[in-house]
Amino acid sequence: MFKLPIVSLKPARHKNAEVIKVVFEKDESILQALRQSGKIRWSQTMHCWYLPYSDTVKQDVFKVLEHKAWIDYSGLTQTIADKTSPTQPKETANNTGPKALPCASPDILQKVKVFKYYMRSKRYSENTIGTYSDALKIFLRYYSDKDITDITNDDLITFNNDYIIKNKFSGSHQNQVVNAVKLFFRTVENTKLNPELVHRPKREKTLPNVLSKEEVKLILEAHGNIKHKAMLILIYSCGLRRSELLNLKLNDIDSKRGLVIIRKGKGRKDRITPLSEKVLNMLREYFKAYQPKDWLFEGQNRKGQYDERSLANVLKQALEKSKIDKPVSLHWLRHSYATHLLENGTDLRYIQEILGHSSSKTTEIYTHVSNKSIQKIVSPFDTL
């Protein structure tokens, strides 16, 4: 299963100016997202990518890399001066700056290892296991001078205020930490922290990003390569998540019933979604050209399933060819599918089932971006 890559931010000096080094393993999808900010540059002398220093750099990076990478901000808890000037006073207990995190001790690493083992036994996805483990590690590093059984609910509140909020991390990042801490402390005996009393931050009520039908058509028709075209069309026409597309096998396409079977999607739930005759004919054309054996979309040299970074590049190339200047991600196609279904008059209950939402409230968010009813509203300005 896929685990989010790590992007580390570290302070540095470049051409006598304060900058932030952005360190990550080669990943075109991450680099593409960072380039959308228009600020990232390559340094030949430092041999890395960097951003100009700013007070909002953490929020800026998280905004463009949310759901694409795990951001390690711990290196920013030291100022540039701390790194370059031996006479600069170190952080003290009275310092109002964010607390520098010590390295994870062998004891912390062992506890995180046991936590991972527990989550695997509960059949959490590898993506969730990686996210929760990293979040817990940061929390335990913050309280490395304290025995785990002595950590209290008040300590978590302090952590949220003095580390999460002070570093201007997002509410979703805070929620990940809270979820990890609650789950971990349910397995710790004789602890003073009561997971049932832990509160979560209020969720940000953001609207899903939606493309017009014209924009979707341009993206889906941009590729001449039938395999690339088929992957993007299947995501949009069936409302698939990225991992759901890549996990499809040949027998998941039920051509007789006109269905796609999604096995162990988010929440490890199976579901079905309708497959149109038009898309089925395109898949038959793709099958004749590529003859896949096991996975519907195989990787290079027919080894394993298609790589998700390569899939991100397929979308990137389609955007370049269609000249759409928006930070479109693959999930935008799923959002657009749901919104277009709603605008076509499909009942919300069916859309909920097709998308695999556990709650109807999740599906109802598409009513806020559908223009079906809004366009009928006449502005009072027009009647003046």
Determine whether 331 is an active site residue: yes
Measured CA angle at 129 (ends 127, 132), to 5 deg = 105
Catalytic residue among 99, 229, 334, 340: 334
Q: Active-site residue among 192, 241, 263, 271?
A: 241
Find tokens 């979703």 and name the residue: 172
- Bridge partners (DSSP) listed for residue 41: 50
Picking from 201, 173, 175, 205, the residue whose alpha carbon sits closest to that of residue 71 is 173
Beta strand 70-72 with 48-52 is unpaired
181: nearest Cα among 147, 148, 145: 148
Q: Which helix (H) or strand (E) holds 131?
A: helix 126-142
Longest dimension (CA), the chain: 75
Amino acid identity at 61 = V
Residue 109, H or E segment = helix 106-121
Active site residue 334: yes
Active-site entry in 63, 266, 309, 316: 266
241 is catalytic: yes
Residues 6+ apart with CB under 8 A from 219: 211, 232, 315, 318, 319, 322, 324, 328, 333
Cα→Cα distances 375→4, 343, 364, 370, Å: 40, 11, 18, 9
Indicate which residue of 63, 227, 263, 331 is catalytic. Answer: 331
Catalytic residue, candidates 137, 242, 340, 357: 357
Element (H, E) at 271: strand 271-274
DSSP string computed for 147-199: -GGG--HHHHHHHIIIIIITTT--HHHHHHHHHHHHHHHTSSTT-S--GGGPP
CA angle, residues 56, 65, 155, in degrees to nearest 5: 65
Alpha-carbon distance 124 to 116, whole Å? 9
Residues with a catalytic annotation lie at 241, 266, 331, 334, 357, 366
